[in-house]
């Protein structure tokens, strides 16, 4: 996973990746708990990032926050199904899409945010 040399953001990304790794090998009960943890962690991480976006007046705010909202909507929808015991689509989502999304988001959106923060610090 790419590191951006921003301790808080890198730590959050690593925790996200750790949860998704554990989700991939979890049983049904563990999956329910871990998926809720992933959603909660993601909400907290995005809130912290969006505070930085505001603090540093990041010009890519609407696109970046829009991507956050899109992912949170997906995670919330999957979490509703997961908590009802309907795990198959969420498992496929975790196994097939989340890692690629994280890498793309870090490489494009978060890297640009960190570069902006560095240039305005």
Residue range of the domain that includes 93? 7-119
Domain assignment present for residue 12? The answer is: yes
Q: Rounded to two decimals, what is the model's pTM?
A: 0.94
Asked if residue 1 belongs to a domain, the reply is no
What confidence score (pLDDT) does residue 107 get? Answer: 95
The rounded distance, in Å, linking the Cα atoms of 34 and 3 is 24
2 domain-assigned: no
Count each helix (H run) and each strand (E run) in the chain, helices first. 6, 0
- Cα–Cα separations (whole angstroms), residue 39 to 3, 72, 76, 77, 106: 22, 7, 7, 10, 18
**What does each C-alpha distance from 5 to 10, 105, 110 come to in angstroms?**
7, 15, 11
Q: Residue 20: inside a domain, yes or no?
A: yes
Q: For 34-92, what is each residue's pLDDT tens digit?
A: 999 999 999 999 999 999 999 999 999 999 999 999 999 999 999 999 999 999 999 99
**Interior/surface letters 74-110, b for 16+ CB within 10 angstroms, e for the rest:** ebeebbeebeeeebeebbebbeeebeeebeebbeebb
CATH number of the structural domain spanning residue 75: 1.20.120.50
Q: What domain count does the chain have?
A: 1
């Amino acid at each position: 996973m790419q590191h951006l040399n921003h301790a808080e953001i890198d730590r959050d990304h690593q925790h996200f990746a750790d949860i998704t790794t554990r989700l991939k090998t979890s049983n049904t009960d563990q999956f329910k708990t871990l998926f809720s943890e992933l959603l909660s962690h993601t909400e907290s991480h995005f809130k912290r990032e969006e505070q930085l976006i505001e603090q540093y007046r990041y010009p890519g705010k609407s696109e970046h926050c829009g991507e956050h909202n899109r992912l949170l909507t997906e995670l919330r929808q999957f979490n509703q199904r997961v908590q009802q015991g309907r795990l198959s689509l969420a498992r496929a989502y975790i196994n097939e899409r989340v890692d690629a999304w994280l890498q793309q988001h870090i490489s494009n959106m978060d890297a640009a945010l960190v570069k902006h923060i560095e240039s305005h610090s």
